[in-house]
Chains A and B, each alone.
Chain A
Amino acid sequence: MADFEVVIGLEVHAQLKTESKLFCSCSTRFGSEPNENVCEVCSGMPGALPTLNAKAVEFAAKMGLAMNCNVSLGSIFERKNYFYPDSPNGYQISQLDNAICQNGYIEIPVGESTKRVGITRIQLENDAGKSIHSQAENLSYVDFNRTGVPLIEIVSDPDMRSAEQAVSYLKTLHSILLYLDICDGNMEEGSFRCDANVSLRPRGQEEFGTRVELKNMNSFRNVQRGIEYEIARQEDLILDGEEVVQETRLYNAEKNITASMRGKEEAHDYRYFPDPDLIPIKLTEEQVAGWKSELPELPLEKRARFESEFGLPEYDANLLTQDRAIAEYFEAAVGCFNNPKKLSNFMMGQFMRELNERSIAVADVALAPEHFAELVRIVEEGMISTKIGNDVLPELMEKGGSAEAFVKEKGMVQISDSSELESVVDEVIAENPSEAEAYRGGKHKLQSFFVGQVMRKTRGKANPALVNELLQKKL
């Protein structure tokens, strides 16, 4: 890739977490029976008029504020005209140059440092419906439940230079949306979708190459693989002296290729014009300032504070702040046991492993942060070993309650009584005379063998520091 520079811009569609649709009061609930949440407005009946959802405006503006955009005090809606059965009006209500948020930027993590990515605009628009196609009957079945659900489309500047940077940008965006609690972020159900514009240009050239729009990448991994494939494809074309055609291509995750989406090109003339049914969205400086003051601490700020206030390594701070609920759980635990690094180790290890394995969120964890803190504290105090701490965590996360009471009830408390351990150590030495001989003869590596034997006899409950101490004394 030495000869070419990759240029990537992303368009992200995020479904807003409103109760009702953008221009009518139908429910936005996912998974209803087909066409249950439909009215005259979202089914495009003649003469039906749209009324804008106040919450959607607020959410879009907040996203803009979180991404350092200018929030327009007078933005307008445009009609994007095209015919497709899942868009019953014959147009999508969207925004263009005069969108609600413009000219922002975010910092994204790239390796050890960060990179600034420009945000061209954030536009409010309505979603299309869904169709099921029957080959056998030669028919399509259309469901308008999703038609009219509010979306924001976040358009980036063409600032990314690799698939990794594109994924890092997406993850940053995703985490901001979740922090603001304005989108559920579910990529598989389509509430967070991404299209990528990818082009190559000879290194040093200012002018952009011909770009290809990539669609249908419904996971971070697929975004990475789809873009990588597309870069390689375009590079091959250019090196073979062929032309990259400006087109839309679909990523096929099964085959890991991109394929041309034929037929859409001729319809690419959307003939945008201001929607005469909707007058400009007027906001006041006070409204915007009020929303700005309501913004929560954002992931990057929280990460910096976790490093400075809790003395956590960058790695820990980054991992703990990706999900706002995890970050808040962690902070609540630190409030109960002030040992951030030990809490972080448990949190990043067994705690997150358990969340992943059971595919659950922090909200589903029955263990309160103070009892999680209690568990880490009793490990630190030597009441139980780290291993037992890790072993009991999944059950505690499921059932909740006091960690101390739990390990006492199960008889898992570590043996830190030297007289009790002394007899076990004596036993182990007596049972393994030749190893004891070898140890005394200088094979000090055998220490761990003896520790293992003691642990076996005590079912892991012996205090390891004490065992080592006793062994050295006795051998």
Chain B
Amino acid sequence: MSITPERVAQIAKLARLELDDEKQRLFAGQFEDILKYMDTLNGLDTAGTEPLYSPVEQPTPLREDKAEKRFERDDIVSNAPETDGQFFIVPKIV
């Protein structure tokens, strides 16, 4: 797969990043290098090898289903750039 600066711009947009032309070209080249390396790995014979999703071997720690209130509302909403003390306030979305 060839990564064009246009493709980089599209990916940046999905991630809400703004990149100028120079950066787009720079990252296009770096993406290409990474994908080429993946192609090298793809050349390995992995038949019979289980896919590895995590290098951690132990099982997922599970939590007992108990509700617990650890914060007052103000502890949480006070972190927001804009709030009325009840809600997080954002620019209108629809």
- Residues of A near any B CB (own CB < 8 A): 18-20, 25-29, 33-40, 43, 45, 51-57, 76, 81, 83-85, 98, 131-135, 137-144, 267, 269, 271, 274, 276, 278-282
Contacts and interface: CB of A to CB of B under 8 A. Distances in A.
Contacts of A55: 64-65
B54 interface: yes
B8 to A, nearest CB: 14
Nearest to A41: B70
A97 to B, nearest CB: 11
Nearest to A56: B65
A276 B60 CA distance: 12
B62 A271 contact: no
20 contacts: A18-B65, A19-B67, A20-B65, A25-B66, A27-B67, A33-B73, A34-B86, A35-B73, A40-B76, A55-B65, A84-B93, A135-B92, A138-B91, A139-B90, A140-B91, A142-B88, A274-B54, A279-B56, A280-B54, A280-B59
B68 A141 contact: no
Interface residues of B, number: 34
Contact of A280 (B60, B65, B66, B70): B60
A282 B57 CA distance: 10
8 shortest interchain CB distances as A-B pairs? A55-B65, A282-B59, A141-B87, A54-B62, A27-B67, A25-B68, A142-B88, A279-B54
Interface string B26-67: 000000000000000000000000000110101111111111
A98 B54 CA distance: 14
Given A20-B66, A81-B14, A279-B54, A141 B89 contact: yes
B79 interface: yes
Contact of B92 (A35, A43, A139, A269): A139
Main secondary structure of the interface of A (DSSP, over half): loop
B60 A140 contact: no
Contacts of B68: 20, 25-26
A133 B92 contact: yes
A36 B87 CA distance: 10
B70 A133 contact: no
Given A35-B77, A84-B93, A281-B60, A141 B67 contact: no
B76 to A, nearest CB: 5
Contacts of B67: 19-20, 25-29
B94 interface: yes
A54 B53 contact: no
A56 B65 CA distance: 8
A52 B76 contact: no
B53 A36 contact: no
A282 B91 contact: no
B54 to A, nearest CB: 4
B43 to A, nearest CB: 22
Contacts of A131: 90, 93
A55 to B, nearest CB: 4
B6 to A, nearest CB: 14
* Residue of A19, A271, A274, A279 with highest tally of chain B CB at under 10 A: A279
Contact of A140 (B54, B76, B84, B93): B93
A20 B93 CA distance: 29
Given A39-B70, A51-B61, A140-B92, 6 more contacts: A26-B70, A33-B86, A35-B87, A38-B76, A39-B76, A45-B79
Contacts of A141: 84, 86-89
Given A28-B67, A39-B71, A43-B76, A52 B62 contact: yes
Contacts of A267: 14
A35 B65 contact: no
Nearest to B11: A271
